[in-house]
């Protein structure tokens, strides 16, 4: 199957910034940004695709974060609600690229964006494994029939 010709499913989610997430200046501490992306992706999988993480791990599949690029555009300040959008931009071999953006509740302000590079691993032997088709189907729109 050619993953390159399929459009991504855009995972969207809202989450609340809690008081304990803030630094002494009232800004969201930088260490929480990647957790926001991962948490909203997992919530989207469970709520919209009926696939909690346990279902994936039961199939012997896990995700290892190889690298993360974050571009901070403005601080998230105070207790508030934010939106997180993320989508898979590339599926190749054992690799997944996930692009994301973090926006204000009204989607008018961009706080951050970036790219996460994951390696899909076999949990039995802890080695990279090719992305199975059923897993790619959780990230990409169905292929259009050209017949």
Along the 147 residues of the chain, how does pLDDT read in single tens digits?
456 678 999 999 999 999 999 999 999 999 999 999 999 999 999 999 999 999 999 999 999 999 999 999 999 999 999 999 999 999 999 999 999 999 999 999 999 999 999 999 999 999 999 999 999 999 999 876 544
Q: Does some domain include residue 143?
A: no
Q: Which residues of 23-59 are buried (b: 16+ CB within 10 A; e: fewer)?
A: eeeebbeeebbbebbbebbbbbbeeeeebeeeebeee
Residue with the two structure tokens 């959780």: 138
What span, in angstroms and rounded, lies between the C-alpha atoms of 93 and 113?
25
Closest CA to 89 of 72, 60, 69, 105: 69
Q: Does some domain include residue 14?
A: yes
Q: 0.85 cut: is pTM over it? A: yes
- Is the Cβ–Cβ distance between 95 and 117 less than 8 Å? yes
Q: Does some domain include residue 36?
A: yes
Q: Does some domain include residue 16?
A: yes
Residue with the two structure tokens 């997944």: 96
Supply the CATH number for residue 127's domain.
3.10.129.10
Q: Does some domain include residue 47?
A: yes
Domain that residue 82 falls in: 3-136
Residue with the two structure tokens 């973090």: 102
């Amino acid at each position: 199957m050619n993953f390159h010709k399929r459009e991504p499913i855009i995972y969207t989610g809202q989450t609340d910034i809690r008081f304990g997430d803030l630094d002494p200046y009232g800004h969201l501490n930088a260490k929480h940004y990647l957790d926001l992306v991962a948490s909203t992706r997992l919530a989207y999988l469970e709520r919209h695709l009926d696939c909690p993480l346990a279902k994936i791990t039961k199939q012997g599949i896990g995700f290892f974060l190889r690298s993360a690029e974050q571009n901070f555009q403005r601080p998230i300040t105070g207790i508030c609600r934010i939106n997180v959008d993320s989508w898979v931009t590339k599926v190749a071999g054992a690799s997944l690229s996930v692009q994301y953006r973090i926006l204000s509740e009204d989607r008018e302000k961009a706080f951050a964006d970036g790219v996460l590079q994951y390696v899909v691993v076999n949990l039995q032997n802890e080695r990279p494994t090719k992305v199975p088709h059923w897993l790619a189907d959780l990230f990409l729109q169905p292929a259009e029939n050209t017949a």
